[in-house]
Amino acid sequence: MAGNRIPKRAPSRGKAARHKGKRNKVGRKRGEHLTRKPEVLQGVGKPHTMRMSKSKIGGFNEWCQYSWALENIMGIKGSSAHWTTFGVDCHQIVEEYYRGMMECKTEEELLDYTAEYDYEGHPTIVIDEQMRTHMDNVLEIDRKRIDTLIAAGVNLLDYAAPVGVELYMKVPDGTNVKDGEISGMIDLVFRELDGTIGIYDLKTGKISDVNKHYFQLHLYKWMFEILNPDETVSKIGILWSKDGTVDIAEPNKRSYNSAIKKVQTTRDKIKLAVEEGTEDNPIAGFKKALRNPFPCSYCPIEHKRICWKEQYDVDLE
């Protein structure tokens, strides 16, 4: 991904009526077939060999193991917080934008499409001021990127259109992370100018340092290269939609190895916690958050209700 100069193009606003129910080039209605859908519980009942993912690993290690186990072992799904649904909506629009780019047949068509793309009037997503800020930032970043590619004189169909968007990956058993599958979804995959691959994650929340996301990015590199043995991921990065910046880094061996190791150590801890469960409470071995009220303040009410009843004998509404 590359980009330096901001092209002067009109902001994409005010075409709501024109876009209502509009179909794209391949006859799909806007918003159909987008991949970022609510998660389906996987692997309940096979705790230490369940399919892992970056969010399952992060949730177990960095949030509350008990809430994690209520969801992933007991199958009690927590409702989403507002900021989660906002993030999902942002991802859906970004996915729609890039999927449309992948369907372009000529460079001219691609340029017209990117210049005219308008997120207003989405049939299912509410476009408010916050959403406009994030989406304008994403489109501006992308227009800078395309300008850089034009300046480099490369074929835009090969380099501007992503290789993958919301790319779902599933690595089966039998790899060097033992005892179960692992899956993940890369937001954006691009062909870099040197022919290698760059993988990028879109973050709609708080801006931080790219190295705080090394686990996720190196894990995705590992998975992508297993599934595509002829490719090399040479760039990893985060696209921050809140302020329209992009952080790009080169993968490093240490973070790569530690990402793979973390998958296995998490599986081992889950296995141990399951073994400590009792007949009355199969998830008794999973620790409750010690940093109350954080992350308790973000705990889904379905989990908090159970937890508070056990811990304080309080019935929450």
Contact between 157 and 103 (Cβ < 8 Å) = no
Residue 199 burial (CB count, 10 A): 26
Q: Cβ of residue 226: shortest distance to ligand SF4, in angstroms? A: 34
Selected from 12, 53, 67, 266, the binder of ligand SF4 by CB under 6 A is 67
Q: Is 289 in the site for ligand SF4 (CB under 6 A)?
A: yes
Q: Cβ of residue 266: shortest distance to ligand SF4, in angstroms? A: 17
Q: Cβ of residue 295: shortest distance to ligand SF4, in angstroms? A: 5
Distance set, CA 161 to CA 135, 146, 164, 165, 239 (Å): 18, 9, 9, 10, 16
Q: Is 78 in the site for ligand SF4 (CB under 6 A)?
A: no
**Alpha helix ranges (H) inside 203-252:** 214-227
Candidates 136-144, 176-184, 207-215, 301-309: pick the segment binding ligand SF4 (CB under 6 A): 301-309
Q: Cβ of residue 312: shortest distance to ligand SF4, in angstroms? A: 10
**Looking at beta carbons only, is 171 or 283 nearer to ligand SF4?**
283
How many residues at the interface with ligand SF4, by CB under 6 A? 12
Give the footprint of ligand SF4 on residues 105-144 (CB under 6 A): none
Token pair of 213, please?
């996301």
Q: Is 76 in the site for ligand SF4 (CB under 6 A)?
A: no
Candidates 62-70, 119-127, 183-191, 248-256: pick the segment binding ligand SF4 (CB under 6 A): 62-70
Q: Is 288 in the site for ligand SF4 (CB under 6 A)?
A: yes
Selected from 66, 86, 222, 240, the binder of ligand SF4 by CB under 6 A is 66
Q: Is 299 in the site for ligand SF4 (CB under 6 A)?
A: yes
* Cα gap 147→7, rounded to integer Å: 7
Residues whose CB is less than 8 angstroms from the CB of residue 265 and which lie 6 or more positions away in sequence, other chains included: none
Distance set, CA 4 to CA 1, 140, 245, 246 (Å): 11, 11, 11, 11
Contact between 207 and 247 (Cβ < 8 Å) = no
Q: Cβ of residue 66: shortest distance to ligand SF4, in angstroms? A: 4
DSSP state of 29: B
Residues whose CB is less than 8 angstroms from the CB of residue 74 and which lie 6 or more positions away in sequence, other chains included: 44, 282, 283
Q: Is 48 in the site for ligand SF4 (CB under 6 A)?
A: no
Q: Is 73 in the site for ligand SF4 (CB under 6 A)?
A: no
Selected from 144, 296, 301, 302, the binder of ligand SF4 by CB under 6 A is 296
What is the CB-side half-sphere exposure of residue 123 using CA atoms within 13 A?
Answer: 11
* Cα gap 261→176, rounded to integer Å: 10
**Looking at beta carbons only, is 72 or 148 nearer to ligand SF4?**
72
* Cα gap 61→55, rounded to integer Å: 10
**Looking at beta carbons only, is 277 or 295 nearer to ligand SF4?**
295
Which chain residues interact with ligand SF4 by CB under 6 A?
A: 64, 66-67, 288-289, 292, 295-296, 299, 303-304, 307
